[in-house]
Amino acid sequence: MKEHIKKIHNSLYELNALQQQTQAAEQNILEASVQRLDRINADLLKLRRRVLTDESADKQYRELILERGRLHQVVANSRMYI
């Protein structure tokens, strides 16, 4: 019986360690995503004036908008786990 309890204790210890690692990874993902969002928002402000007259600026602007949307989802998901 004691061996069974020891195995359960070890399993719980391992699960706790995995949970802490997962939480740390989510925190890193959140921080990186927020930093990238800041850079994207700055780039969007710079491109805004050129979007109507420059095709490459328009393309880059649209790509950044899509990336920003994906990052908002990543941030929301990360915040659920932290």
pLDDT per position as a tens digit, 22-52: 999 999 999 999 999 999 999 999 999 999 9
Taking the C-alpha atoms of residue 65 and residue 44, their distance in angstroms, rounded to an integer, is 8
Q: Which amino acid is at 32?
A: A
Helix ranges restricted to H, the chain: 2-47, 55-81
pTM: 0.81
Compute the average pLDDT of residues 4-30. 93
Whether 81 has a pLDDT exceeding 90, the answer reads no
